[in-house]
Amino acid sequence: MTPNATSGRRAGLVTGAPAGLSRVTAQAVTPEQLLPYAGAVSGLRPRLFGECVGHLGEGQVVLIGYPLRDPRDARAVDAAVDEALALPGLVRITVLAAARPHAAPPEASSSEDAFWSLPLPLPPAGQKLRNMLRRAARDMVTEQGGADSWTAEHTALVEDFCRARASTLEPGSIHIFRHLTAYLSAAPQARLFSARRADGVLVGCAVGDYSSFSTAFYMFAFRRPDAPPGTADALLAALAAEGVARGHSLLNLGLGINSGVAFFKKKWGASVFLPCVETSWTLQNKGWLARLLGR
């Protein structure tokens, strides 16, 4: 979702959260349905629109168009979009869904990606991947903890990552990366996985979220340029193993993002789980008479 670091006010939008909102995180199949995560990194407030959750800010709503009963139910998505568009004071709407919503005007911008996933327990790894994991096990150890496990080393690792990719990372992504401690503090079922060399130096880390009942989430991962080969694989293996221990049946690996990220996921045998179409548009300004009458 697109973060909003400035939205502390809620002027012009209905922001009351009805009963039943807690089931969104319990039934989450996409990261944006993990309400502690979404709230911590965006500053927006959740509200149900039919079977979909929306995140509300000043004159805007980010609607997560994956209905709880069926994330591909286009009719439920369209109904939720219609409900969101009726919000008083709404200026801009963004919809994340498996398809472009019916209400999107022709000029609305859209971008397409897809969520990738792995079944849990993981399928047998190929020989090359097994060799990589064995090599990583010789060069480092992985450990896990909660928000109190985050150190200055983790902060430096993330900042180095952002600086190295400053020309390609979107500002929203950098904003999220710099709010990971707030996220870990807000989500008791999120875990920080750290990879350290024998000398104790942090060479990589990843965040997993187990707040949903059936779906575990591979949320973020970072590593040093000089990290031992297999660091990212070892972190993913540890994160998946924790999901198995907690009884999860699916691991959401996030979006494909680019060919390099998608290659890493394919290497593990991942497949496309859900399409993700992000569509945004600004509502037309109402005429002066409609504004005067409150319509």
| 77 domain-assigned | yes
pLDDT value of residue 225: 95
Q: At 20, is the pLDDT very low, low, confident or very high (cuts 50, 70, 90)?
A: confident
Report the pLDDT averaged over residues 231-251.
98
Q: Which two tokens stand for residue 58?
A: 């000043």
- Do 96 and 62 contact (CB within 8 A), yes or no? yes
Q: What's the CATH number where 187 sits?
A: 3.40.630.30
In sequence order, which residues have a C-beta less than 8 Å from that of residue 16 and are 6 or more positions away? Answer: 47
How far does the chain reach from its first CA to its final CA, in angstroms? 29
Q: Whose CA is closest to 104, among 88, 113, 93, 89?
A: 93
Name 167's Cβ contacts closer than 8 Å, sequence gap at least 6: none
- Do 159 and 194 lie in one domain? The reply is yes
Place 289 in a pLDDT band, splitting at 50, 70 and 90.
very low
Q: How confident is the model at residue 260 (pLDDT cuts 50, 70, 90)?
A: confident
Q: State the average pLDDT over residues 170-193.
A: 96
Model confidence band, residue 285 (pLDDT cutoffs 50, 70, 90): low
Work out the average pLDDT over 135-139.
Answer: 95
pLDDT, tens only, 1-13: 433 322 222 233 3
63, 49 contact by CB (below 8 A)? yes
Say yes or no: 240 and 125 in one domain: yes
**Is residue 3 a part of any domain in this protein?**
no
Does a structural domain hold residue 255?
Answer: no
> What single DSSP character describes residue 286?
P
Q: Are residues 103 and 211 in the same domain?
A: no
> What was the pLDDT predicted at 248?
98
Strand partners, 209: 190, 217
Each residue of 157-171: pLDDT tens digit?
A: 999 999 999 998 999
Q: How confident is the model at residue 110 (pLDDT cuts 50, 70, 90)?
A: very high
Q: Classify residue 109: in a domain, yes or no.
A: yes
Tell me how far apart the alpha carbons of residues 135 and 146 are, in angstroms, rounded to a whole number: 27
**Residues of the chain above pLDDT 90, percent:** 85
Is pTM beyond 0.85? Reply is yes
Does the residue 265 lie in any domain? Answer: no
User: What average pLDDT is seen over the chain?
Assistant: 90
Q: How far apart, in whole angstroms, are the C-alpha atoms of residue 99 and residue 66? A: 10
pLDDT tops 50 at residue 294:
no
**For the chain, what is the domain count?**
2
| Domain region containing 55 | 22-113+276-292
Residue 180 confidence (pLDDT) above 50: yes
Same-domain check for residues 131 and 237 = yes
Say whether both 109 and 127 belong to one domain: no
Taking the alpha carbons of 27, 172, 14, 79 in that order, is the dihedral positive or negative? Answer: negative
Shared domain check, 106 and 47: yes
Instruction: With a cut of 90, say whether residue 293 has pLDDT above it.
Output: no
Bigger pLDDT: 224 or 15? 224
Q: Are residues 161 and 208 in the same domain?
A: yes
